[in-house]
Amino acid sequence: MFTGIVEEMGAITVLRKTLAGTKLTILASTVMGDLKIGDSVSVNGICLTVVSKSERDFSVEVSPETLSVTTLGDFAVGLPVNLERAMKLNERIGGHLVAGHVDGVGRIRSRQQDANAIMLKIEAPHDILKYCVSKGSVTVDGISLTINDMSENGFSVAIIPHTAKVTTLGLKQVNDSVNLESDLIGKYVERLLQERGQLSKPTISIDTEYLQKRGLI
């Protein structure tokens, strides 16, 4: 579990793709402090497990499923990434509860300066938007943000100078893709209502899009 408060930007130094999966090595400093093999780390909002480490970097392994439903498939050597270690229960939660389980990929459709803030409009799938509300929380590339406005096909967020400086959102441009995770509370409420019979359960359509997202075709 994470908070969506990015600790630092790291950089991918090694990317190995094989039939068995993908392995990344990430250069970092702040998160290396007490990082251990087996620990969880959020990499651009994706919860990954540390499989090896040195004084200056750590490595994680990525499954084909994760590659298919996140932006990780677009990663390359030299790319900066947002990093956060798993939260401790005795610390303040500065953002909101973030699982690190990406719901889907969004796309930046506009970027405008508004006084000292950068306003981003992000297009998102309906399956994510149904859990989003104006002034609610959303995770974008591992960053806890407040939704300013909602539209039929997306939402807007304001990036303050500090966030732009210490995360990759300051580098993102129009048409760049981002990992999205909606607020956990909405998912639990939906599930509770479904079990009580107050909300119909969704039906899964096994179509071409479903199979492509999971790397089956």
pLDDT higher for 18 or 119? Answer: 119
26: pLDDT strictly greater than 90: yes
Residue with tokens 């492509």: 212
C-alpha of 104 from chain center: 9
- Specify whether the backbone of 73 is left (phi greater than 0), alpha (psi in -120 to 50) or beta: alpha
- Residue 28 has what pLDDT? 98
For residue 208, is pLDDT > 70?
no
Measured CA to CA, the distance from residue 76 to residue 136 in angstroms comes to: 32
Which two structure tokens, joined as six digits, stand for 19?
């039939």
CB 98 within 8 A of CB 142: yes
* H or E element at residue 191: helix 184-195
What is residue 5's three-state secondary structure?
A: coil
DSSP state of 204: P
pTM here is 0.86
Over residues 103-114, the mean pLDDT reads: 96
For residue 203, what pLDDT is reported? Answer: 54
62 band by pLDDT with thresholds 50, 70 and 90: very high
Domains present along the chain, CATH in parentheses: 8-85 (2.40.30.20), 104-195 (2.40.30.20)
Asked whether residue 182 carries a pLDDT value surpassing 80, the answer given is yes
At residue 202 the predicted structure's pLDDT band, cuts being 50, 70 and 90, is low
Within 13 Å and on the Cβ side, how many CA atoms surround 80? Answer: 12
Look at residue 207 in the predicted model and tell me its pLDDT.
54
Could you give the CA distance from residue 44 to residue 88 in angstroms, rounded to a whole number? 19
If you search the block for the tokens 């947002």, which residue do you land on?
82
Q: Is the pLDDT of residue 77 over 70?
A: yes
Q: Report the mean per-residue pLDDT for the chain.
A: 90
